[in-house]
Amino acid sequence: MIANPPPVEFLRVTDLHAFYGESHILHGMDFRVNRGEVVTLLGRNGSGRTTTLKAILGLVGKRTGSVMVNGRETVGMQPHKIVQLGIGYCPEERGIFASLSAEENLTLLPPVGSGGMTVDELYAMFPNLQERRKSPGSRLSGGEQQMLAMARILRVGARLLLLDEITEGLAPVIVQALGRAVRTLKEKGFTVVLVEQNFRFASKLADRHYVVEHGRIVDTFAHDELERSMDKLQSYLGV
């Protein structure tokens, strides 16, 4: 019988502190993400989840501690160097260029790694984008903009995806399409850190859930622990 290989860490965050000016937001974040996993950062608004994603990328005023990406320490590196380690960031505000067409938005960013998905592969994953490929960003619906924001980081070769509130304000049919896309990406070996308020959406996708309060991890739940841990989760999240 051949034993399964041990998991390989893609991201390790250790004692991470982050500041905006004098405001101390993260107070010692500690978590890991193995290659090919989907993990969520759960918590109430203001708990520090979005700041954690930005701190991984160096997009905060100051950070201390350790952020290891694929075995390389990134604290002290500039953001443009960090993303070249194969990180794709999908911010809550999406960052779509209003005057460019959907396809121009899709093909604008430079590669951050090899093996990015082709435009045809992305259109197969998100058929709405192919239909709207000539439409300016300002004419896309919120759901189409979200699909475009995800597709854009997949084209450039990112293998670690930081996805911030990708379902917020979207219709159920779009949320279902995004859920299918995340499952497909996991099957393809992508690694995903998901910040999400929609617990029903997140619970079906993630291997592990980290609960964030006041800028630190206060609890962790594996996927197979959720059913027996709902009372405890409700106390953290108010769901």
Domain regions of the chain by residue span: 37-47+78-237
- What sign does the CA torsion over 74, 80, 85, 87 have? positive
Give residue-wise pLDDT tens across range 19-49: 999 999 999 999 999 999 999 999 999 999 9
Q: Alpha-carbon distance 186 to 42, whole Å?
A: 19
Mean of the pLDDT values across residues 72-84? 95
Give residue-wise pLDDT tens across range 216-239: 999 999 998 988 888 888 888 875
Tell whether the model's pLDDT for residue 4 goes beyond 80: no
Q: Alpha-carbon distance 35 to 20, whole Å?
A: 30
Burial of 63 (0-12, 13-18, 19+ CB in 10 A): buried
Q: Which amino acid is at 117?
A: M
> How are strands ordered across the β-sheet holding 216-222?
87-90, 160-164, 191-195, 38-42, 208-213, 216-222
The partner residues of 101 in beta bridges, in order of sequence, read 136
Q: 37-47+78-237 sits in which CATH class?
A: alpha beta
Mean pLDDT, the chain, integer: 93
Predicted TM-score (pTM) of this structure:
0.94
Of residues 35, 38, 30, the one with CA closest to residue 13: 30
Percent of the chain, pLDDT > 70?
A: 98
